[in-house]
């Protein structure tokens, strides 16, 4: 309990910004807890952290935490974060986005940040829908599911955010759920330690929009769904393709080394100042 009180006092803007806007039972609160614990474990000073977000229920998160924070425009969090990282390479820049923020309006920024391998950590809460604006479908709404703009059935096929990140070049990609909070915390910590573009996708629930429209039950029942459909990468390796049909993998999906953009950029700048090119 003393540990929780310490975290609350250290990291939340408890005297300024609460009560928060999230619905009771929303997964974003669990994600916030995991994020703060992971940052606490890394040992960074609060002033060394920059938390950047766009707009959305998830995008609201930096408002509540006592780091350097930027609450920017929908879909452009990664562009603001890129500017911060290039201007102040010594800072740890973490970008918090919803699925819409990251791969709908912000999709092009996302693939190019990954391709460029700029040293940012993207934390993406995938709740399958545009939560804040009333439950419209997003690029992660599964085929056949309902949203307020696909009232009969979504006829589009959804993005797999983590696979997109792997293909686009991210050096670290992890996927967790808000049910598996401890795993999530560990994935975030690993992502923060990685130099280059790292991604943590978090399968979460929006019970008041997506869950209600698809009759998926309460927040607790939606978390039970996460428990029953998530399979660790290690377990999945032992399973047959048919057994994995309605499951998704959690854990570390990729962890590789590639030169990070801002280091390469500094190298080129040094050549322009007369340092000999090797
Ligand atoms: C340029 C622009 N387009 C659209 C909007 C309206 N808008 C605000 S949040 C949002 C979607 C939020 O969905 P997501 O990013 O998945 O976050 P969630 O609320 O689900 O956490 C939209 C479309 C906006 N604020 N700015
Ligand atoms: S609308 Fe959905 S995503 Fe937004 S706070 Fe409520 S439950 Fe969470
Ligand atoms: Mg969303």
Confidence of residue 18 (pLDDT cuts 50, 70, 90): confident
Rounded (5°) CA angle 26-28-31:
130
> Residue 98: pLDDT above 70?
yes
Pocket probe mutation, ligand 1, options 126, 130, 135, 178, max atoms within 8 Å of Cβ: 130
- Is the shortest distance between the CB of 127 and ligand 2 below 6 Å? yes
Q: Which domains, and CATH codes, for the chain?
A: 2-272 (3.40.50.970)
Q: Round to whole Å and give the CA distance between 203 and 142.
A: 13
Report the length, in residues, of the chain.
Answer: 278
β-bridge mates for residue 97, sequence order: 124
pTM of the model: 0.97
Q: Residue 101, Cβ neighbours under 10 Å: how many?
A: 32
How much is the pLDDT for 15?
76
Taking residues 120-124, what's their average pLDDT? 98
- The residue assigned the tokens 């009560």 is 19
pLDDT tens string 221-276? 999 999 999 999 999 999 999 999 999 999 999 999 999 999 999 899 999 888 88
Alpha helices by DSSP H, 104-169 = 107-116, 161-168
CA of 140 to the centre of ligand 3 (A): 8
Gap from CA of 100 to ligand 1 centroid (Å) = 6
CB of 119 sitting under 6 A from ligand 1:
no
DSSP 71: E
Query: Taking CA 249 as the corner, what is the angle to CA 248 and CA 251, rounded to the nearest 5 degrees?
Result: 150
Q: How far apart are CA 102 and CA 268, in angstroms?
A: 30
Nearest CA-CA partner of 211 in 152, 139, 131: 131
Tokens of residue 227, six digits: 């428990």
């Amino acid at each position: 309990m003393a540990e929780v009180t310490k975290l609350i006092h250290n990291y939340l803007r408890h005297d300024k910004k609460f009560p928060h806007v999230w619905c009771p039972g929303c997964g974003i609160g669990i994600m916030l807890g995991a994020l703060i614990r992971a940052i606490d474990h890394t040992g960074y000073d609060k002033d060394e952290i920059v938390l950047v977000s766009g707009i959305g229920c998830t995008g609201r998160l930096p408002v509540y935490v006592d780091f350097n924070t930027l609450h920017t425009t929908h879909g452009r969090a990664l562009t603001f974060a890129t500017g911060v990282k290039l201007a102040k390479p010594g800072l740890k820049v973490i970008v918090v986005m919803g699925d819409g923020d990251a791969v709908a309006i912000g999709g092009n920024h996302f693939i190019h940040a990954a391709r460029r391998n700029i040293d940012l950590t993207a934390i993406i809460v995938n709740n399958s829908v545009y939560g804040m604006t009333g439950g419209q479908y997003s690029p992660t709404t599964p085929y056949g599911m309902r949203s307020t703009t696909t009232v009969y059935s979504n006829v589009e096929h959804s993005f797999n955010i983590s696979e997109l990140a792997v293909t686009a070049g991210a050096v670290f990609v992890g996927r967790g759920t808000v049910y598996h909070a401890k795993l999530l915390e560990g994935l975030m910590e690993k992502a923060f330690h990685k130099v280059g573009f790292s991604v943590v996708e978090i399968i979460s629930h929006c019970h008041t929009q997506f869950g209600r429209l698809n009759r998926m039950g309460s927040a607790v029942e939606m978390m039970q769904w996460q428990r029953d459909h998530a399979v660790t990468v290690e377990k999945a390796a032992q399973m047959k393709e048919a057994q994995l049909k309605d499951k998704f993998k959690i854990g570390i999906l990729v962890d590789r080394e590639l030169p990070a953009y801002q280091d390469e950029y500094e190298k080129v700048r040094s050549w322009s100042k007369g340092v000999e090119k090797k």
